[in-house]
């Protein structure tokens, strides 16, 4: 038996649920046919009533739904669909910390009603598993959105450090944080990395944040600022610590500590798909609708399963992870494709 988990940014659940053509029937047939037991949703962009209406056939078929909508209407929003009952639901990572008996991370309250984090627990044949849906801010260099993203990284990094030490029923917590992380950690995660070095999603301090959580594996040391990264003329976004693209952001003590410590040498969280595919380019999960990006596979790998060691080992046993990529451009119901992992 396995627990199969999918994560997907739906780019608006109401749009994703619509039939777009005779051959593109939207997310509902996908939900009917997927092997996933749990589907982690991002960018839902709807309130609970609207989401329930859009997903009514799936809910009638037995899927359970919880969601965290954003205070700003039509923005962000995350949810969890599950064939298994959901318990211990917490919206916002500060509330999740409190539910786990932890003190809320500095700055976390800012994001309580932003629709960017929800978690719940499912009971499996190998015990309880916490599944979380994350929609990390996309940012935009040289705008306040980038400041928001840097603040989020500071708080969420602290949350992950705290959460890694949590236990459930006296055992280390089994946990998966799936979602749209909006950061490519390594060059293999982005097809056209050279031309995107000044774009949010591949900035030095964003990638250094991922180093602090995941370590530099499979590289011996960080790619941020290495010879390839710099090229002949240097990285146009500078180096980690420059916080390229910020407008009014000042590095917090948490950011300063992260920079001092560098890439984690003993990570407690693991990028599951990369661990199963250490040498692969991609597999990409997002392609812009513009141009021929989907047809030429000019994608970004930003939709991740980040899991605790126990869940990584279960993924290794199952050894089955994939991007459920549409067969053609006009069959897509989102600009992201589901990323699916089996845990045995």
Question: Which residues are part of the catalytic machinery?
Answer: 135, 180, 336
The answer to the question of whether 112 is labelled as a binding residue is no
- Residue 60 Ramachandran class (φ > 0 left, ψ -120 to 50 alpha, else beta): alpha
The answer to the question of whether 336 is labelled as a binding residue is yes
The answer to the question of whether 182 is labelled as a binding residue is yes
The answer to the question of whether 158 is labelled as a binding residue is no
The answer to the question of whether 52 is labelled as a binding residue is no
What is the H or E stretch that residue 3 is in? strand 3-9
The answer to the question of whether 335 is labelled as a binding residue is yes
What is the Cβ-side half-sphere exposure of residue 63, based on CA atoms within 13 angstroms? Answer: 26
- Lookup: tokens for 165: 């030490």
Distances (CA, A) of 329 to 43, 294, 295: 20, 7, 7
Can you say which residues are annotated as belonging to the binding site for Mg(2+)? 9, 43, 180, 182, 335-336
Can you say which residues are annotated as belonging to the binding site? 9, 43, 180, 182, 335-336
């Amino acid at each position: 038996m396995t627990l199969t988990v999918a994560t997907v940014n739906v780019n608006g659940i109401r749009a994703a649920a619509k039939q777009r053509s005779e051959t593109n029937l939207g997310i509902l047939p996908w939900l009917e046919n997927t092997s996933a037991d749990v589907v982690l949703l991002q960018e839902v962009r709807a309130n609970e009533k609207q989401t329930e209406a859009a997903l009514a056939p799936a809910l009638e078929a037995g899927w359970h739904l919880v969601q965290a909508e954003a205070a700003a209407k039509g923005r962000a929003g995350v949810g969890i669909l599950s064939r298994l009952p959901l318990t211990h639901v917490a919206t916002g990572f500060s509330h999740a910390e409190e539910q786990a008996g932890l003190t809320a991370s500095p700055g976390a309250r800012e994001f309580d009603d932003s629709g960017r984090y929800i978690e719940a627990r499912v009971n499996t044949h190998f015990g309880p598993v916490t599944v979380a849906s994350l929609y990390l801010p996309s940012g935009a260099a040289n705008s306040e959105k980038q400041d928001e993203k840097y603040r989020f990284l500071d708080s969420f990094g602290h949350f992950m450090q705290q959460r890694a030490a949590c236990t459930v029923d006296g055992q280390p917590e089994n946990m998966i944080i799936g979602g749209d992380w909006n950061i490519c950690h390594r060059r293999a995660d982005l097809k056209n990395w050279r031309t995107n070095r000044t774009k949010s999603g591949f900035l030095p301090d964003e990638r250094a944040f991922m180093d602090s959580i995941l370590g530099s594996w499979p590289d011996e040391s960080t790619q941020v600022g290495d010879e390839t990264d710099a090229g002949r003329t240097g990285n146009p976004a500078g180096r980690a610590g420059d916080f390229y693209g910020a407008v009014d952001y000042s590095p917090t003590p948490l950011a300063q500590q992260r920079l001092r410590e560098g890439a984690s040498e003993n990570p407690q969280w693991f990028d599951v798909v990369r661990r199963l595919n250490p040498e692969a380019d991609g597999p990409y999960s997002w392609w812009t609708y513009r141009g021929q990006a989907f047809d030429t596979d000019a994608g970004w790998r930003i939709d991740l399963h980040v899991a605790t060691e126990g869940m990584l080992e279960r993924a290794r046993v199952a050894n089955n992870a994939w991007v459920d990529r549409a067969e053609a451009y006009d069959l897509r119901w989102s600009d992201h494709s589901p990323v699916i992992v089996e845990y045995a």
